[in-house]
Structure formats: C-alpha cells, structure tokens
Amino acid sequence: MGNSDIRKDLLAKIADLHEMPQGAYNIRENSKASGRKNTKNIIITNKTDKPGIDIVILPGTKKQSLHIPVLITETGIKEMVYNDFFIGDDCDVMIVAGCGIHNEGDEGSAHDGVHAFAIGKNSKVKYIEKHYGEGKGTGERVMNPTMTARLGEGSVLELESVQIGGIDSTVRKTTIIAEAGAEVNLQERLMTDGVQSVTSDTEVVLDGPGAKARINSRSVAKGDSTQVFYPRMVGNADCFGHVQCDSIIMDNAKVRSIPEIAANSVDARLVHEAAIGKIAGDQINKLMTLGLTAEEAEEKILSGLLK
C-alpha cells in the first residue's frame, strides 16, 4: 500500500473522510500542516509560541462542521500539539478530530494532543475523537490526549471518544466544568489487545444549578492488555450526574474501574454504576441458535457493546 492509500485509509477510519470536507478543516500530517480551509464563521490560525492551532467559531454559527485530523505515517515521530477552541454564544457545530498512526518501523511514534475548549452560552457542540493505530513495525504507537472544557450557561457538549484498536499505550485525561443549566454527555468506547494499556482519567464538575451530565464508558479488554478507569462526577449545586462503566474482560486481560461521585451541595443528585465481566455463555448460545458460529456470536456481542 502506497503512502497515498495509507493516508486515505487513515482519514476514512478516524474522521469518516473519503474526500475533502465541505466545511472548515485543518489536516496535520507527520508534524506538518498538509491542508487547511477557513470559512466565514470558523477561523483557524497557527499558534506562534508552540505547535498547534487556535480555532475561533463566531457567535451564532449554526449547522457547520470542522475537521481536524492528525496523521502519522513515518516511524519515530513524537509530537505534542496544543489546540485551543473559542466557541461563541448561540452556536450549533460539529467538530471531528482523531489521530491515526501507521508505523512500519522499529522506532516509536507518538501524538500527545492538548485541547482546551471555551464554550459560550446556549451553544451546542458535538465533538468526535477517534484514535487508531496500525502497521507491521515493532515501534510503539502511543497517544496521550488531554482535554479541558468549560461550558457556559445553557450549553451542551456531546463528547464521543473512541479508541478503535492498534494503540499500544494511552493515558487519557479529561476535565469538564459545566455552568448553570449546561449539559455534558460523554460517551467513551475503548478496545485493547495484546499487551496494550490504557488509563482513562475523567472528571466532570457540575458547577451551577440545573447542570447535568452523563459519563458512559464501555470497553473490551483482550489478550494480556490492561485498562484502568477513573471517572469522577462532582456536584457543587442543584444538579444531576450519572456515571456508568461497563467492561468485557477476556483471555488474561486486567481491568480496574474506580468510579467516584462527590456531592458538595445537599441538592446534588449523583449516581454511579460499574460492571466488569466475561461474555455470558447464554448470550453466545442464543446467537448460535440463529445460525452464527461461536466466533461470529462473540464478535457480534463485542461490537454491540462498543457501538
């Protein structure tokens, strides 16, 4: 597969891109900019003091999208990138990020992305981030994403965070603060295999009255991989928060799930649930009665959990 085909394949996997998007975009490839388009309402500029970009989405921007994929197709590249998002009041936008690493060499390749969001009042932001690794090289594929976000009053953040395979090591840190009437919906889906490892450290602070949030984490751990989850919900006012973690463990994998809820107000309503277990035999048997093999039934159950 040539580099052009690898690039196209990675873009399809991490950003569902089969051609250049219609809206604004910024593509980073092997630590360099390889494509950018601004629109009237979405302006992307390079940082002057460190690697990364500033993204300004003007107030009142509706039904527009921004794609900011990162590709690494050369072995030995290790980078830290800082992206700051300034989203005005009364917006409704979708941001599609993601990073794909194709490593055919014996040196490690790594991308550390530090994203900071300032979201105005009464805005809706959907943020999709997919991480994926591939390649026959012995070098590690490492991603360490960090995200901080503050939601203004009445705003909504839908965060979909997916690790779809091939990443050897990940430490993920997410901190979100929701002001009065704001809403956070965080969906996390992860898969590990072999000797891969992932640590996910998430904190959502409900700082104003009427704020609400849901953290829903689903994972599959195979082989000798390890997973550790630290989801925390903090209620500082009359608010509602729910944390749920579900993991399927297979082979010799290890999973730790440590949900925490902290109420600093008598009006905070917080709930957490966590479950770790293997695939139930009756689930496989039921699917086999429909004509699936045991392997097909297992794959169906796993894909359903991570859907």
Q: Is residue 45 part of a domain?
A: no
More confident residue, 251 or 1: 251
pLDDT value of position 17: 82
Given a contact cutoff of 8 angstroms between Cβ atoms, the answer to whether 206 and 179 are in contact is no
Please write the tens of the pLDDT for every residue from 81-103. 999 999 999 999 999 999 999 99
Q: Is residue 210 part of a domain?
A: yes
Q: Is residue 171 part of a domain?
A: yes
Task: Show the domain range for 225.
Answer: 3-22+84-101+115-135+147-306
pLDDT value of position 252: 96
- Scan for tokens 């055919």, then name that residue: 104
pLDDT value of position 153: 98
pLDDT value of position 67: 96
Please write the tens of the pLDDT for every residue from 187-240. 999 999 999 999 999 999 999 999 999 999 999 999 999 999 999 999 999 999
Question: With bands split at pLDDT 50, 70 and 90, how would you rate the model's confidence at 33?
Answer: confident
Is residue 45 pLDDT above 70, yes or no? Answer: yes
pLDDT value of position 277: 87
pLDDT value of position 307: 66
Is residue 284 pLDDT above 90, yes or no? Answer: no
Question: With bands split at pLDDT 50, 70 and 90, how would you rate the model's confidence at 165?
Answer: confident
Question: With bands split at pLDDT 50, 70 and 90, how would you rate the model's confidence at 109?
Answer: very high
Q: What percent of the chain has pLDDT over 90?
A: 81
Q: What is the mean pLDDT of residues 42-67?
A: 97
Q: Is residue 107 part of a domain?
A: no
Is residue 296 pLDDT above 90, yes or no? Answer: no
pLDDT value of position 151: 98
pLDDT value of position 293: 79
d(CA 63, CA 47): 26
Please write the tens of the pLDDT for every residue from 131-156. 999 999 999 999 999 999 999 999 99
Q: What pTM was computed for the model?
A: 0.93
Beta-ladder partners of 231 = 202
Q: Is residue 201 part of a domain?
A: yes
Q: Is residue 75 part of a domain?
A: no
pLDDT value of position 287: 60
**Counted domains in the chain:** 1
pLDDT value of position 184: 98
Please write the tens of the pLDDT for every residue from 169-179. 999 999 999 99
The full length of the chain comes to 307
Is residue 107 pLDDT above 80, yes or no? Answer: yes
Is residue 2 pLDDT above 60, yes or no? Answer: no
Q: Is residue 52 part of a domain?
A: no
Q: Is residue 89 part of a domain?
A: yes
